[in-house]
Structure formats: C-alpha cells, structure tokens
Structure 1
Amino acid sequence: MAITYIKPSGVMAADRSVMANQLNHFLQHSPDLQGSIAGISVRSAADGQIIYQHNGDIRLRPASNMKLLTAAAALNVLGENYTFTTEVHADGPVKKKTLQGNLYLKGKGDPTLLKSDYEKMAAELEMLGIKKVKGNLIGDDTWYDDVRYSLDLPWSDEMTYYGAQISALTAAPTPDYDAGAVEVAVKPGEKEGDKVQVEITPKTGYIKIINRGVTGGEKTKKDLTIDRMHAKNTIVIEGNFPVNSKVRKEWVGVWEPTMYALALFKQSLEEHGIKVSGKMKRGMVPENTTVLNVHHSMPLAKLVVPFMKLSNNVHGEVLVKEMGKVMKGEGSWEKGLEVLQGEMARFGINTKTLVLRDGSGISHVTAIPANEISQLLSAVQKEKWFHAYLNSLPVSGAPEKMTGGSLRYRMKTADVKGKVKAKTGTLTTVSSLSGYITTKSGEPLIFSIVLNNLLDEDKGKKMEDQIVSIIANQ
C-alpha cells in the first residue's frame, strides 16, 4: 500500500484529513515525481505517533539525511563537551635551544584544525625556547586506521572537498572546516590574454599549481576547469575566463591529508624561527616522549553546527571513526558503524531494515525508510543534548550562513520562513529533507521526505518545499 493515512483522535482529525488529502493529491499529480519514489513520514512531535505516511517503510537512499543519525549517535556516545585533541611530542631533550631528537605531531581526529592552530602550536614551542629541531618532523595519524575513503565513495569524487580523504591528522582551509581540502580562488588577469590569477588557502608548498588558464575578452565563453591530478597534489587550471568575471572559488581535496597537515606545521615552525634539520614523514609516537603541547578542538556541541548546517561529509566520517575508536578501540568505519547501529536501536529504530555504509550519506548504497528517520527525530527530543542537536539543523530562510545553512535560500515565504529546522540531502537522483516544523495552528510536527530516482534534484527540492508548505498550513 503506497499511501496510508493514520486517523488521529480528537479535534485535530479534520485538519489532518485535509493535510492527507492535499499531500495525496500532490504526490499523485506532480509531473516531476513520475518514475521516481517518494518516501514521506509525518509524526506528532508531542507523542511520536505517525499521522501520515507514503511509502514510509520503503528503504530509500537518504543522502545527507544520514547525518541525522550520525550526529545523534555522536552526541549520545561522545557527549556535548567532547573535544578532539592534537599533541606535539619530543623524544629528546632541549639543549642550547636545540631539540636533540625528533618532533612529533599526533593527530586524534580533529577536523577543525586551521593553519592558525598550527601557528599557535609553533608559538608554544617558540616560547619554550626551541629554535632548532635536530631530528625529523613526524606525523602520527594512527589514532584511526589508514583507510582513506568510505566503501562506496565514487572515484569521480576523489578530488572534491566533500569526498576528501579521512585521516586522524588533517587540516581545513577556512572556518567552514572542510578538512583535507584547500580553497582555490581564481580571478581574471588585468587584460585579455593574461594568465588568470590563482590563490591557494592556506598558502602551502604542499600543492603545486599548473596554471594554463587564460583571461578572455568580455564575450569569451567561460570554460575554466580546476582539476587535481589523480594521486598527486598537482592542481591544473585550464580554459578561458572572461576579463569581467567574478572570483571563482573551488575547494579541492588533497592527496594524503597527514602530510598536508605536517607541511602546514613545518611552515608554521619556520615562521616562528624554528628550523627542522631532518625529514618530514609519517610515523608513530614512541613511548616515553615528552608532551610539549596539546591543542583542543571546539566541543562537539559547537562542532555539529558546521557539520549539519553546511552538511560537511568529512565530519560525518570522522565522527563514525571516532565512535569506533572510543567505544571499540578501533578507529574504522566498520567499528564506528557498529556503534552507530547500536545507538539507533536505543532510539527505537528498527535497525534490521537499515543499510548503513558511511556516516555522511555520500554512499549510494546506504538505505533508510522515512518512518525510521522520523522515529529518530521523535526519540531524540527527550535527550539532554537535544538543544545542541536542534540548534545544528538549518533554519528555513534564515540568511546567515551558520543559521540558515543549506536552507538559507529556501522556504522564504511567510508560512514557512524560520519555522522549519531540517537537514537537507542531495546526491545524483536523490533529494531529502527531514526535521521539525511548527504549523499554522501552532502544532509542532516531525517530517521526513526522501525522494529517489529523480531526473532533477533541484526540482526535488522544490517539491520538498511544496510538501513542507502543505504540512505547515494546517
């Protein structure tokens, strides 16, 4: 049975009957849904009862709605105040301003490390009087396993920021915290025929730029491409960029984030007058070292904001590996997903119907029914960390990036603006939206909309907004 309307008791029955009829009509007559599958679940936020469903028990690809599960599990397992640490160790004494040994940078998963954080660590060493490191600079990423990509990540996403490699030691270019990536900004030259101008953030010699981009005339077709070579940190810029073009920014995943982070740390050391005599390489911190510095990330309650508002895939995978490390002693997708699945069972989800392959939802194999997503959203309302969870969700039509997030340009009409807090999701042929809404009558409801086999994801978002508007106007 595709469409089910669960009759409520009490005075709300008439309103819900109207909503059900409107939703049924929309689903049956929307031309953009032809050939696709829609899973919809609407619950009362007060008692968790399903008041409407359409294919609610059909497993569908959730895209980034998977992050709703990951965030809930992480907040429950790790706690709101959990922080990621990064440590600086030395295996020798400091004599005459020289470290007589190796310097180690040990990562423990922090996906929010910026170049400025590595500068602070270097400044701490400068304050200790260190001017030279006689040995090597060694990066330790063994907190997690060495599997860099989740099981179903397509090869075509290898160079993207949202498909960046996962390492326990990494770096992000900006406070959006796209760990394992750099920001590439391209602008036209001063006149036609000039090479385009390229700027990398953070500035690092770890990335090589091959600039073949040419500034074209005002009427030149814009065909600029920015690509990273496979298994290399060489970014190639080619094509024409009209002289009147605005700055174009791309975020590109690096190859081997551990060495990227280490390169930024070495650069920061040099900027603080500390010279490393030896090589830069990966390795493990030995026993009986001296801890020179420990850097703490923001607490998880704050980290989930860029994770959820901006739909940060790397954060999702890091949180899965961190749960595996903390709870089962192994920072892997396998162990982390075991923990996540166990937490979902505690929230009353039927885990036997789930297919879970990663923490971000980038997988085209992960499959979750809409009714199970809405069940999670109902159950977490009772948790002490629910405020942090709710605060992490994008808010409809709110223009500020860290408030509206991926919903800041959507649902701006009076009936829904500011009244929807929900997680978006997009993959090729997939669009999803699940969260909380306050209706016209003041009733709080929970909804999950998962659309699969779409020809156009943008039209999927418009349909989601129309469905939410129908729910809102009850």
Structure 2
Amino acid sequence: MKRTLPLKRTLRTALAVLAVLAVVAVLGALAWWRLAPLADAPTGTFTAPEAYPPAAPAPVLSAAGADAPVPDLQAVLAAALADERFDGTTTASFVDLATGDVLFEQGGATPLAPASSMKVVTAVAALEHLGPAYRIPTTVVAGPTEDSVVLVAGGDVTLTVDGEGYYDPQARGASLRELADLVLASRGGVAPATVYLDTSVFGDDEKADGVPNGDLVAMTAPMAPIMLDGGRIDNTVKYSGRHPDPAMVAAEAFAGLVGAGAVAEGTAEAGAAELGVVYSAPVAALVDSFVLTSDNLLTDAVALQTALRVEGAMTWAAMATVHLATLEGLGVDNTGLVFHDGSGLSPTDRMTAQAFTQLLVAAAGSASSALFQSLPVAGYSGTLTDRFEDADDAWGTVRAKTGTLTGVSSLTGTLTTVEGRQLVFSIMSNGHTVGTDRLEEALDATATAVAACGC
C-alpha cells in the first residue's frame, strides 16, 4: 500500500517531480522528430487503431542544469562508497547529462550482475526498435476445418479474460472476450468445435540461462507467447504463483468464450483467413509498467518482441544480439557485457556502471528519451516508494531503476543536485553480505549525498 507522505515532503516531492518532468518534456520534444506516427509504426502484421503517445508536449521550463554548476564529486563519493555496508565488489559511474563528462568512476568498466537495472537496457532497445506506439497482436484465423479456429500467439502476456486483470489499465490492452466477439461475428455467430493454439512464434526454452527454476514459481513465469495477467494464478498479487503452462490456460479461456468444446496445439496454415485481431497496450505503456514496477515477465516478453522485430526470431540469443547491437549503435562500450535475459533475473547477466551511464546519456537525445519519465521517483513511486526514508534531499530529485538479487543490489538513473545540475548514475554491488535492506540504505545514502552536494 502506498503510504501517505507528510505535507512538507509531499509538496517538496511534487515540485521536484514537476521540475524533472519538465526536463523530460524538453528531451521528448528534441527526440520527437524520430518517432513515426502510429499509421507508419509496426504492429506485428496488422495496423493498430489509434496513436500513442499524444502529440509532443511543448516545453514549459528550460532544461534543468544547463547553467547550473558542475559538482566536484570526488570527496563526497569517496566517502559514501567507503561505507562498511559496501562489503562486496562495488562499482559506480556518475556523469553530467548535459555534456557527457565523467564526474566520478569507481570500477566503471568492471562487468557485474546488474539485477533489475537491466530493465533500462530492455526499455531503450524496445523504444528504439519498436517505437512507443507499437502494439503486440493476438490473432485468430480460420482452422483446418470449418468447425475449427486457430489462436495465433503474438507475444502478448498482458491479456485479460474480460478487461479486468493484474496490470494497470494503461498497460492493459485487449481482452479475450473482445477477440471472441470478433471471431463469432466473423463466423456468423457459429461457435467453433475446436480451438487450436499456435505458439510457433516463440522458439526457445521457457526460461533464460541462469534463472533459477524456483523463480518460475512467483518471480516470473515459464515464458510463452500468450498469457493472461503474466501467467498469474491470482491476478491481484504481483508475486502470485504462476501457471506451469500459461499459454494453454489462455487458450482454454478463449475456447470457453467462443463456445468451443476442445483445445489442442496446432499451427495456422499460410494464408488462412483472419477472423479477428486484438492488440496489447502501446510499448510506451508497457515500458512504463515494467520499469516502474520491475515486472520480470513483462520485461522479458517485450525484450523477446524486440528480438522478433529486429532479428526475426523470438529467442533469448536473438534478444542478446539486439541488446548488444542497440548499445553499440548508441555509442556505448559493450565490452564484457552478457545478456541472458531482458529482466536481469539471471545472475549470469553482466553490465558495467559506465555502460549504464553512457546509455542514459545517449537515450536522452534519442527516441528512447521516454525512459526517463518511467523511472521510479525516490520516496514516491514504483520500487522507490518505500526507499530514501528521511532523505528529503533525494525526494523527487532522484529517479532510478532498482535491482535486487541474492547478494546483488543496484541503482541506476538520474538525479538533480541541490544547485540544479542533472546527472546520470549507476551503482552496482555484487557479493555483499550485509543483507539487502542495509545495502539499499547505503545505495540510497550515496545518491542522496550527491543530490545534496553543493560541491
């Protein structure tokens, strides 16, 4: 449950958030020329019905930090990172957003497990290659017999039965009921006897390399190209147990809605007549959701969708290829980087602190600048709602993606100093033994010290 903030904190946070959003508006306006309108944007093999996001907002304030003094961070960060809670391998990179100048680095080129900070990479790749308006299709075509239809999975894991489900309304797209209504209308109201489920678009293992089997129980689900509510058994709980075969669960639900008595696996015939198609929410909304809430399954689904678009294959290997190529294309040094998934759930993923900050600087001037408005706000939203306690210098001025695995913690994002300079940063710690809570407190204290720095 989101806590109620004291009035002073609420007002300060609101003002700081408005300032950061003004910067995002400026960045979005600068990058808008690269964003194709939805009529030209890819949506599988189909055309989506409406545009997202709306027209680029007009800037209301000058970009933060353009004339603010550049801080000298050596002393403040040397002291902060000497905290005994950083008892593992800790790397850090702090960079001036306006100039790209490195202000501080500690082991910046050392590859470490990033945990969920990895979601920043997936968000950028999706926004760069799919675009914010892209929607994932789920299609039904005529089956091999007159009394059958084929449900063709396209990669959407946010489907619902009837419009109500786990994901926030803005991240929810179509429902199976809508799809069933379209199919029945195409068939003149005649229910099919059999629904065939075609999942051939996904051609890989149900989990990425390195992801523990136990994580498929609640932290994510066995990957499949169609799911209801991310495969959750209880669609009101983030870490609900997951269905062992979420694709078949979706197919059975659809069969019930169209009145079919049987469900079987199958493959759509080439050129089969389309009976109905529905779409996910736009990629921009999906990115908002998985960056803010750190949803592993949704992140991986979007990463695989990006791989399908760019490489023509919905596989973990294709995803890794796209991630590496995206970084290289944006001028990021990808030496030593390893991607086994898009969510960071695999402890064998590797990123560097300097790669994160290079990526954030590049994203600010590219089609993926929308990432910045998706980052959780310190003490206010997403996975930072209950972080930065009593750190009023950070409230609203630090926006960052969190990352947590056993012995792994990270924080990657942007902050504005007390003098108004906007920085991007990444801090990663591997092999710590002090416990997640204490390590997160140390990460938060470090970011707060920089935000408060008039140095």
User: Structure 1 unaligned runs (5+)?
Assistant: 1-9, 94-99, 173-178, 184-200, 203-247, 270-274, 399-403
Q: Which residue of 2 aligns with 1:429?
A: 407
- Quickly say closer, same or farther: Cα 1:288–1:263, change in 2 above 3 A: same
Range with bigger deviation, 52-61 or 318-327: 318-327
Q: Which residue of 2 aligns with 1:114?
A: 160
Pairwise CA distance, 1:127? 4.0
Pairwise CA distance, 1:131? 4.9
Pairwise CA distance, 1:41? 0.6
- 1:292 lines up with 2:275 in the alignment: yes
- 1:141 lines up with 2:130 in the alignment: no
Larger Rg: 1
Which of residues 421, 440, 443 is equivalent to 2:421?
Answer: 443
Listed as ranges, the matches of 1:161-176 within 5 Å are 162-172=219-229
Pairwise CA distance, 1:118? 0.8
Q: Is contact 1:139-1:282 (8 Å) kept?
A: yes
Q: Is contact 1:140-1:169 (8 Å) kept?
A: no
Alpha-carbon separation, structure 1, partners of 2:69 and 2:192? 75
Which of residues 390, 398, 408 is equivalent to 1:420?
Answer: 398
- Quickly say closer, same or farther: Cα 1:249–1:56, change in 2 above 3 A: closer
Pairwise CA distance, 1:146? 4.2
- 1:307 lines up with 2:290 in the alignment: yes
**3-state DSSP of counterpart to 1:251:** coil
How many residue pairs were aligned?
373
- 1:411 lines up with 2:417 in the alignment: no
**3-state DSSP of counterpart to 1:112:** strand
Q: Which residue of 1 aligns with 2:303?
A: 320
- 1:261 lines up with 2:250 in the alignment: yes
- Quickly say closer, same or farther: Cα 1:466–1:124, change in 2 above 3 A: same
CA distances 1:287-322 after superposition (whole Å, capped 9, x unpaired): 232211110111111110111101111122222322
**3-state DSSP of counterpart to 1:31:** coil
- Quickly say closer, same or farther: Cα 1:55–1:249, change in 2 above 3 A: closer
CA distances 1:64-109 after superposition (whole Å, capped 9, x unpaired): 111111111111111111110001112379xxxxxx3211111100
Alpha-carbon separation, structure 2, partners of 1:335 and 1:129? 38
Q: Which residue of 2 aligns with 1:466?
A: 445
Q: Which residue of 2 aligns with 1:228?
A: none
Q: Which residue of 2 aligns with 1:276?
A: 260
Pairwise CA distance, 1:340? 1.4
Q: Which residue of 2 aligns with 1:376?
A: 359
2:254 maps to a residue whose letter is F
More helix by proportion, 1 or 2? Answer: 2
2:233 maps to a residue whose letter is V
2:361 maps to a residue whose letter is S
2:208 maps to a residue whose letter is S
Alpha-carbon separation, structure 1, partners of 2:334 and 2:425? 19
Listed as ranges, the matches of 1:10-409 within 5 Å are 12=69, 15-16=71-72, 19-28=73-82, 30-34=83-87, 36-91=88-143, 100-116=146-162, 117-128=175-186, 130-160=188-218, 162-172=219-229, 179-183=230-234, 201=235, 250-269=239-258, 275-277=259-261, 279-386=262-369, 388-398=370-380, 404-409=381-386
TM value normalised by structure 2: 0.78
Give the structure, 1 or 2, with the largest relative contact order (CA under 8 Å, sep 6 or more). Answer: 2
**3-state DSSP of counterpart to 1:115:** coil
Q: Is contact 2:377-2:396 (8 Å) kept?
A: yes
Alpha-carbon separation, structure 1, partners of 2:361 and 2:117? 15
Alpha-carbon separation, structure 2, partners of 1:134 and 1:60? 52
2:74 maps to a residue whose letter is A
TM value normalised by structure 1: 0.75
Alpha-carbon separation, structure 1, partners of 2:392 and 2:68? 25
Alpha-carbon separation, structure 1, partners of 2:138 and 2:131? 19
Aligned-residue Cα RMSD (Å) equals 2.1
CA distances 1:344-403 after superposition (whole Å, capped 9, x unpaired): 0012222222122211101111111111111111111101341x21121111122xxxxx
Alpha-carbon separation, structure 1, partners of 2:274 and 2:358? 45
2:158 maps to a residue whose letter is T
1:170 maps to a residue whose letter is M
Q: Which residue of 1 aligns with 2:44?
A: none
Alpha-carbon separation, structure 1, partners of 2:144 and 2:267? 15
Pairwise CA distance, 1:454? 1.5
**3-state DSSP of counterpart to 1:81:** coil
